[in-house]
Chain A
Amino acid sequence: MNWRLANGLLELELATRPCNEISTKALEQLESFLPSLKGARALVIHSTVEAGFCAGADLRELYTRGRNLESDERVARVRDFLMRIHRVLDTIDAAPIPTIAAVHGVCFGGGLELALACDMIVADQTARFAFPELRLGLIPGFGGIPRLRRDISNALVRDLLFTGRSLNARRAHEAGLISQVVKPGATRRAALGAAAQALKFDTRAVAACKAFAKPLVRDETRQEIEVFLELFEREAVQDALKRFVENDGPMPYLA
Chain B
Amino acid sequence: MDSPAATTTKLLDLAAEHFGVDRAALRPTDDFFATLGIDSLQVLELLTKLEAHFSVELPDYELQGVTDFSTLAARIHDRLA
Q: Are A254 and B44 closer than 8 Å at their CB atoms?
A: no
Residues of chain A lying within 8 A (CB to CB) of residue B39: 250
Beta-carbon contacts under 8 Å, A32-79 to B: 51-52
A164 on interface, CB distance cutoff 8 Å: yes
Other-chain contact of B44, A128, A164, A171, A252 (Cβ < 8 Å): A128
Residues of chain B lying within 8 A (CB to CB) of residue A171: 57
Other-chain contact of A106, B38, B44, B57 (Cβ < 8 Å): B44
A251 to B41, CA, bound (A): 8
Nearest to B48 among chain A residues (CB) is: A168
Other-chain contact of A126, B33, B48, B59, B63 (Cβ < 8 Å): B48
B51 on interface, CB distance cutoff 8 Å: yes
Q: Are A166 and B33 closer than 8 Å at their CB atoms?
A: no
Other-chain contact of A166, B38, B52, B60, B64 (Cβ < 8 Å): B60
Q: Nearest Cβ in chain A — how far from B79, in angstroms?
A: 13
Q: Nearest Cβ in chain B — how far from A159, in angstroms?
A: 9
Q: Nearest Cβ in chain A — how far from B53, in angstroms?
A: 12
A254 to B47, CA, bound (A): 13
A247 to B33, CA, bound (A): 15
- Contact residues of B: prevailing secondary structure: helix
Other-chain contact of B61, A106, A125, A254 (Cβ < 8 Å): A254
Q: Are B41 and A51 closer than 8 Å at their CB atoms?
A: yes
- Convert B19-55 into 0s and 1s, putting 1 for each residue whose CB lies closer than 8 angstroms to a CB of A: 0000000000000010000111101110110011000
A41 to B34, CA, bound (A): 49
Q: Are A168 and B61 closer than 8 Å at their CB atoms?
A: no
Total count of chain A residues near the partner, CB < 8 A: 23
Other-chain contact of B40, A125, A163, A164, A252 (Cβ < 8 Å): A252
Q: Are A250 and B40 closer than 8 Å at their CB atoms?
A: yes
- Convert A111-145 into 0s and 1s, putting 1 for each residue whose CB lies closer than 8 angstroms to a CB of B: 00000000000000110101000000000000000
A252 to B63, CA, bound (A): 12
Residues of chain A lying within 8 A (CB to CB) of residue B43: 250-251
Q: Are A253 and B40 closer than 8 Å at their CB atoms?
A: yes
A64 to B52, CA, bound (A): 38
- Convert A71-112 into 0s and 1s, putting 1 for each residue whose CB lies closer than 8 angstroms to a CB of B: 000000000000000000000000000000000011000000
A167 to B74, CA, bound (A): 20
A18 to B39, CA, bound (A): 12
Q: Nearest Cβ in chain A — how far from B19, in angstroms?
A: 14
- The 6 residue pairs across chains A and B that have the minimum distance between CB atoms: A165-B59, A250-B33, A251-B40, A165-B60, A51-B41, A254-B64
Task: Sample 7 A-B pairs with CB under 8 A, ordered by A number.
Answer: A164-B60, A164-B61, A168-B48, A170-B52, A171-B57, A250-B43, A253-B40
